[in-house]
Structure 1
Amino acid sequence: MARSIFLIASLVLCLPAICFAQMVQDHRLEECRLHDHGLQESRRPFTYFRGKGLQLGRPEEILRSDGGYVRRWKSSEILRCTQVDMYETTLEENGLLIPRYIDAPGVAYIHEGSGILGVVYPFGGEFRQKSYVRQVNTGDFISIPDGVVFWLYNNRSEPFKFTCVADTSNAPNPGEPSKPYHLAGGKEQLVGGLLHGFSDDMLSEAFGVDVSITHDIFSRQKDVTITRAGKKFNFPYLEGTHRDGENDVAAEFTFSMHSGKADLIVPDGGWLSFVTRNKLPVLSKVGLSAVRVKLEPRAMIAPLWSPNAHQIIRFLRGDGRVEVASNDGESLLQEDLKENDVIIVPKFYPSTIIAGERGLEFIKILTSDSPTASYFAGGNSVYKAIPAQVVAEALQIPLEEEIYIRQQRRKDEVILPAVRQHEI
């Protein structure tokens, strides 16, 4: 009897500790679940985002040093629900992003300047770490798995800017900002170099040096996250690709998304270039992908939805209009957007983008390494895959009208050029 009472008491005491993380996760999932018609309005989060709730606004500066600065998009309901983190880093000349690893896999798109990327990776099946150093430029896409050490350095005179997106769905705190672990640097409130977490004695023993040396190293650590190098670095071996064999899935961490590598070119419409795990195998360890799109004036992306990926879209140049619909036939977003605006489109929700008179260019990060999409219009429209009589009956229109509509845009896929007025 006493033993039974003890076991019950133990379970009662342990239950909160065991279940708290699962309860928090279940609560977040419930808050972010796509709404059902039977739920109250206050419990329909994506409906709550109707209007500007899908927009992230402007990032806030969270760190600045002589070497550069970091701006982060403030945590919001849409970021927590889609479980992504987003920030922008600018490195000035000789600016060094201190070597670090992060608790969530991430990708970056370089939208201004160029620099040096360094990665240290353990994917070769050996105890020896492998080094990767590469020049990266505007239009390049970078992918870094969680827990992998990397650094970035600006070896040019102009600013080096890149936007980063991290997938926190499997991080220790899903939906919360990702956490960097710096291999060097000073110590401030809530951030600091990892070495400060160890004693001088322990580090002197680990590195095999006198304790006075480790103490001196600590005293030199000033900058946090970003520092400015005293003199320009020289890397004579930047040319070429550092591969250790075809089976090394992490041999490449970058992919060029310049117009010269476009996967789809549409006359009078624009072009797009995408990168998935098929082109950059390391994305299979990251779980993200990207599409870079340039639209000619008044051209548009065919209305689409993705069943397996949230879309994080940053406008790079030009202007345009975005519309997002919900499953209850209401509009979640109808907004004119311009350069540097950011929106998030949740999976399953249909959306479309049309360029303004100046044209439009944007980068889209997707939360899948092999995303899929279905389209409402164009040559690969889902309507055209359904028998005509079924569509006509569903839309309550004459069969002849359905057939006429079906015959339009037969040659246009994904990117739809502007329709001239006399063709309407």
Structure 2
Amino acid sequence: MAKLFLSLSLLLLVHGCLAFQQKNECQIQRIDAVEPRQRVESEAGFTEFFDTNDQQFQCAGVEVIRHQIEPQGLLLPSYVNAPILFYVEQGKGFQGMTLPGCPETYEVSQQQFQGRKGGQSFQDRHQKIQEFRQGDVVAIPAGAAHWIYNNGQDDLVLIVLLDSTNFANQLDQNHRRFFLAGNPQQEQKQQQGRQQSPRGTRQQGQSLEAGSNNIFQGFDVDVLAEAFNVDRETAEMLRCEDDRRGHIVRVERGLKVVSPSMSREEQWQGQQGGRGRGQDNGFEETICSMKVRANIDDYTQADVYNPQAGHCNHLNSFKLPILRLLQLSAERGVLYRNAIMGPYWTMNAHNIIYVTKGNMRMQIVNDEGQAVFDDQIQERQLVVVPQNFAVVKQAGEQGCRWISFRTNDNAMINTLAGQTSAIRALPVDVLTNAYQIPREEAQKLKYSREETVMFSPGSFSSRGRAPRV
């Protein structure tokens, strides 16, 4: 009995310490709009890294990077210990993702007569290839090997969120990329301005995924030759020790893979007419056939729309069921000139906001009623809004577009102003006594905004439709 009591006491102590530690991570007194701190160059592009030791990233438990891949550029095959959600800001391409146990259903074969009926010689076969384009959000489960290729004419720009504190990651609070090919050079791993976190959980340089060698370099060559049943020279090539191209390489003659065209896929989706959207019965959405891509740039599919203010597209696990596995979701927001997204808080998720075009003023308020952020956030800047922190946004003269990643597969907001807000739901007498205002003013406070989430410029009247960004 004494041993049981001691064990329970230690368990409660450890749990309490961890809870206290997590609480300390989000005791933020100041939030800043941040830009990438490092840039790692490769033969056919580069990767930029945000400072993961920044307090707001520590609070949210996420990391953000930005890939820019040139035409015919290939991001080498790798896998990561954390789930990934990336947004295609510019360009198009395709990716391969390898899931264990799934069949190689993409194949090209050539019939041959080999003295018996039905003889076939397969030229290539592999798992499913996913095409993507501007405005797509793509999900990659933790530990799934994947690669990305730019088959367009313009640079491919990807904004990538890695949820390093997700339950799927049991290593530590850093994302680690394990390369299956190439030799990303250690000298490219620069640490300009980085500092070790006070808790020491993020070691210097751990988050720089492009600074690692591929995993085959750690295996004995003879073992590799035996495992793959190839000669020793071929096994040596797997190690890529003389490769100096970096983690994004150029495919000189273009990449040839077995893949249906995007137009055929979209045609099939059009014929379906959206039937079954958000409905997974456990049969269609198996691990091997699950959809990993959805477009959130189409304003005609907006979840929130105000022709005088802007629109928002939400992507959650009801629309893309794989997000339930990743416990992540996304939002694409657009505010027209001077329009306001009324004050709100996200009830069950941290909110990572990256501006893709234009600018907006944001105010973020913590539980002590203090403004921890009150500034402009510009294009290519990022701000983390911790769970339950109240936030309000107002677009600048050029309007604003952003992509937001959220650390819950069905993130929910609660508004403070507007038709469905918390203030609107309160009785007038509660408002009168809570704010010590006359009953008439309480009624105005409650009913003066008939809009729901996005408000047109001006206090009481619309000034016409603002130009889009």
Matched, 1:208 2:216: no
1:397 aligns with 2:437: yes
Q: 2:255 aligns with which of 233, 237, 240?
A: 233
Give the aligned length.
389
Q: 1:357-368 maps to which residues of 2 (within 5 A)?
A: 357-368=397-408
Contact 2:336 2:400 in 1 (8 A): yes
Distance 1:216 1:335, change over 3 A: closer
2:111 is the alignment partner of 1:113: no
RMSD across aligned C-alpha pairs, in angstroms? 2.9
TM-score, L = length of structure 1: 0.84
1:182 pairs, out of 170, 179, 183, with 179
Give the deviation of 1:337 after TM superposition.
2.0
1:263 aligns with 2:303: yes
- Are positions 1:247 and 2:240 aligned together? no
Which residue identity is paired with 1:68? G
One-letter code aligned to 2:176: K
When residues 247 and 162 of structure 1 are mapped into structure 2, their CA distance, relative to the original with a 3 A threshold, is closer
Q: Aligned to 1:79, which of 57, 72, 76?
A: 57
Q: Does the alignment pair 1:197 with 2:215?
A: no
- Matching residue of 1:166: 162
Partner of residue 36, structure 1? none
Q: Which of 32, 41, 46 matches 2:28?
A: 46
Q: Which secondary structure does the structure 1 equivalent of 2:217 belong to?
A: helix
Alpha-carbon separation, structure 2, partners of 1:272 and 1:187: 39
Distance 1:90 1:399, change over 3 A: same
Confirm or deny: 8 A CA contact 2:81 2:143 kept in the other structure.
yes
Distance 1:348 1:396 in 2: 26
Question: Deviation at 1:62?
Answer: 3.9
Q: Which runs of 5+ in 1 are unaligned?
A: 1-6, 12-17, 34-44
5+ residue gaps, structure 2, are 106-126, 187-210, 270-281, 464-469
1:121 and 1:423 mapped to 2: Cα distance?
52
Q: 1:423 to 1:295 in 2, by over 3 A?
A: closer
Query: TM-score when scaled to structure 2?
Result: 0.77
Does structure 2 retain, via aligned residues, the 8 Å contact 1:184–1:221?
no
* Identity of matched residues, %: 24
Output the CA distance in 2 between the equivalents of 1:296 and 1:71.
Answer: 29
- Cα 1:127–1:108 shift into 2, 3 Å: closer
Aligned to 2:272: none
- Residue 407 (structure 1) aligns with: 447
Note the C-alpha offset of 1:374.
0.5
**Alpha-carbon distance, 1:212 to partner:** 2.7
CA distance in 2, matches of 1:390, 1:266: 30
CA contact (8 A) 2:456 2:462 kept: no
**Displacement after TM superposition at 1:224 (Å):** 3.5
Deviation (angstroms), 1:198 = 0.8
Shift of 1:163: 0.7
- Name the amino acid aligned to 2:400: L
Q: 2:130 aligns with which of 134, 143, 157?
A: 134
Structure 2 residue aligned with 1:101: 79
Q: CA shift at 1:222, angstroms?
A: 3.8
Kept in 2: contact 1:392–1:402 (CA 8 A): yes
Asked if structure 2 preserves the Cα contact closer than 8 Å seen for 1:323 and 1:353, the reply is: yes
Which letter does structure 2 place at the counterpart of 1:305? Answer: W
In 2, the alpha carbon distance for the partners of 1:265 and 1:106 equals 28
Q: How many angstroms apart in 2 are the aligned matches of 1:420 and 1:234?
A: 57
Residue 66 of structure 1 pairs with residue 39 of structure 2: no
